[in-house]
C-alpha cells in the first residue's frame, strides 16, 4: 500500500506526535511504500521566523531518522521541494467550498486565537493537505485523532474531483493508533499535548532525564489514588496510563494489572523511568546525526525529493489533462 504522512517543522516534536503518528510510520515502513514529508508550507501559515525555518526543517528530518524512520525503506523529503503540491492545491481549491473549510475544527480554533487577522493560508490549509495526500495516490494516512477531520475532507475533495473530471484520485483512509490517538497535555488533560502549548505540557522526544523527571513530577493527576483507565472521570491518570503503556509496549489492561495498588507517586517514578529509558536511544541517535547533518541528512532529503518528484510530476500531468489544461 502507498502511505503518506507528515509533520510540520514548527517546534520540538513531542511524545504525542510520536505515539499518534511516528510510531505508526515505523511499523508501516516494513511492508508498504511510505512517503514521509516535512510539511514546511503548512508551517508558514503560523507565525514563524524565516531565519529559524531552515534549521527547523533539518531538525525535523533528524527527528524522523532518530526515531526510527529508515531512509532505505521510506522516502523522506521537504514539501516545498516538490512544486506539484502547491500546483495541485490550486486545482483542488476550485472543487472545495468555503463552507467546508470554515467547518474545520483546527481552523476554528487557530483563527479564533488570531481574531480578524487569521491568514487565508490557515483556511486553505486542509486543501494543501489534500493535495499532499492525493498527489501520491495514497491509500492510508497514519495520523493522530486531531487530523481525522482533515482526512475526511481530503476524501470528499477526491470524490468531488473524480465525479467532475473522471476517476483520477484514490480515496485515502485515515489510520489512527488503537490507543494514544490523542495524547493530552500534562498540564491540563482537557487540552491536546501540543508543540505550541503551555510550557511543560509536552515531553519532547529529546528531553534529558532531569527534564523528563521534572515534567512528570509536575503533571496533574486526578483525585483519589487509584490507577485505572477511565478517561471520563480520571482524564489525567488515563492519559499517563496510555503513555506508560505505549512506551512499555503493553496494553492498558496489562499496565492496570501491573500498577494495581501502586500510589501516584510510585507510578510517576515508574513512568519517568520508562520514558528516560525509551527516549535514550533517540537522544543518542540524534547526537550522531547532528554531526552528519550537512552531508548525510541533506542527501537523504534530496533523494527523497527526487523520488517524490517522479511520482508527483506524472500525477500532475494526468490532473492537468483531466481538467482540460494544456500540458
Q: Give the span between the Cα atoms of 204 and 7, in whole angstroms.
A: 14
DSSP states along 268-308: HHHHHHHHHHHHHHHHHHHHHHHHTIIIIIHHHHHHHHHHH
Catalytic residue among 187, 192, 234, 268: 192
CB 151 to ligand AQP: min, Å:
10
The answer to whether the CB of 82 falls within 8 A of the CB of 308 is: yes
Closest residue by Cα to residue 315 from 151, 193, 101, 138 = 138
Nearer to ligand AQP, 203 or 319 (CB): 203
Q: Give the span between the Cα atoms of 103 and 246, in whole angstroms.
A: 32
Q: Give the span between the Cα atoms of 214 and 312, in whole angstroms.
A: 45
| Grid coordinates of 297 | 541528512
Q: Give the span between the Cα atoms of 312 and 306, in whole angstroms.
A: 10
Nearer to ligand AQP, 194 or 238 (CB): 194
Catalytic (active site) residue 284: no
CA 320 to chain centre: 30
CB 97 to ligand AQP: min, Å:
23
Instruction: Give the x/- contact pattern for ligand AQP in 165-204, rule: CB under 6 A.
Output: ----------------xxx--------xxxxx--------
Nearer to ligand AQP, 195 or 268 (CB): 195
Catalytic (active site) residue 114: no
CB 288 to ligand AQP: min, Å:
24
CB 322 to ligand AQP: min, Å:
29
Q: Give the span between the Cα atoms of 322 and 327, in whole angstroms.
A: 10
User: Which of 146, 156, 258, 269 touches ligand AQP by CB under 6 A?
Assistant: 146
Catalytic residue among 110, 175, 187, 234: 110
Contact residues for 233 (Cβ-Cβ < 8 A; gap 6+)? 222
Q: Give the span between the Cα atoms of 100 and 79, in whole angstroms.
A: 24
Nearer to ligand AQP, 21 or 279 (CB): 21
Is there binding between residue 59 and ligand AQP (CB under 6 A)? no
Place of cell 534529558: 208
Catalytic (active site) residue 192: yes
Is there binding between residue 126 and ligand AQP (CB under 6 A)? no
Total residues interacting with ligand AQP, rule: CB under 6 A: 20
Nearer to ligand AQP, 146 or 269 (CB): 146
Q: Give the span between the Cα atoms of 317 and 327, in whole angstroms.
A: 7
Closest residue by Cα to residue 77 from 283, 285, 299, 289 = 299
Task: Find the binding residues for ligand AQP in span 7-46 (CB under 6 A).
Answer: 7-8, 10, 16-17, 19-21
Nearer to ligand AQP, 7 or 133 (CB): 7
CB 103 to ligand AQP: min, Å:
18
CB 8 to ligand AQP: min, Å:
4
| Grid coordinates of 78 | 521537504
CA angle at 216 for the pair 214 and 222, rounded to the nearest 5°? 135
Is there binding between residue 144 and ligand AQP (CB under 6 A)? yes
List contacts with ligand AQP (CB under 6 A). 7-8, 10, 16-17, 19-21, 143-144, 146-147, 181-183, 192-196
Catalytic residues: 110, 192, 195
Amino acid at each position: 500500500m502507498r502511505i503518506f504522512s507528515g509533520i510540520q517543522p514548527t517546534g520540538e516534536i513531542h511524545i504525542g506526535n510520536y505515539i499518534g503518528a511516528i510510531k505508526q510510520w515505523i511499523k508501516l515502513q516494513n511492508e508498504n511504500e511510505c512517503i514521509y514529508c516535512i510539511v514546511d508550507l503548512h508551517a508558514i501559515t503560523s507565525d514563524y521566523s524565516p531565519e529559524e525555518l531552515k534549521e527547523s526543517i533539518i531538525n525535523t528530518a533528524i527527528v524522523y531518522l532518530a526515531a526510527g524512520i529508515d531512509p532505505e525503506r521510506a522516502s523522506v523529503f521537504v514539501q516545498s521541494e516538490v512544486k506539484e503540491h502547491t500546483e495541485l492545491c490550486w486545482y483542488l481549491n476550485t472543487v472545495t467550498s468555503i463552507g467546508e473549510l470554515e467547518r474545520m475544527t483546527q481552523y476554528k480554533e487557530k483563527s479564533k486565537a488570531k481574531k480578524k487577522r487569521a491568514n487565508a493560508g490557515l483556511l486553505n490549509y486542509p486543501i494543501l493537505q489534500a493535495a499532499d495526500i492525493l498527489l501520491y495516490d495514497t491509500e492510508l494516512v497514519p495520523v493522530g485523532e486531531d487530523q481525522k477531520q482533515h482526512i475526511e475532507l481530503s476524501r470528499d475533495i477526491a470524490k468531488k474531483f473524480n465525479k467532475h473530471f473522471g476517476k483520477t484520485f484514490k480515496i485515502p483512509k485515515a489510520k489512527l493508533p488503537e490507543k494514544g490517538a490523542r495524547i493530552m497535555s500534562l498540564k491540563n488533560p482537557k487540552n491536546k499535548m501540543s508543540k505550541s502549548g503551555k510550557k511543560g505540557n509536552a515531553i519532547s522526544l529529546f528531553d534529558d532525564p532531569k527534564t523528563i523527571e521534572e515534567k512528570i513530577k509536575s503533571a496533574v493527576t486526578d483525585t483519589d489514588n487509584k490507577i485505572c483507565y477511565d478517561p471520563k472521570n480520571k482524564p489525567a491518570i488515563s492519559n499517563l496510563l496510555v503513555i506508560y503503556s505505549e512506551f512499555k509496549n503493553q496494553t492498558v489492561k496489562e499496565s492496570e494489572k501491573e500498577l494495581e495498588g501502586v500510589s501516584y507517586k510510585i507510578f510517576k517514578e515508574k513512568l519517568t523511568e520508562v520514558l528516560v529509558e525509551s527516549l535514550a536511544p533517540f537522544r543518542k541517535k540524534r547526537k550522531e546525526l547532528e554531526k552528519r547533518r550537512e552531508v548525510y541528512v541533506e542527501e537523504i532529503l534530496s533523494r527523497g525529493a527526487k523520488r517524490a518528484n517522479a511520482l508527483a510530476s506524472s500525477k500532475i500531468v494526468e490532473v492537468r489533462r483531466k481538467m482540460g489544461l494544456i500540458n
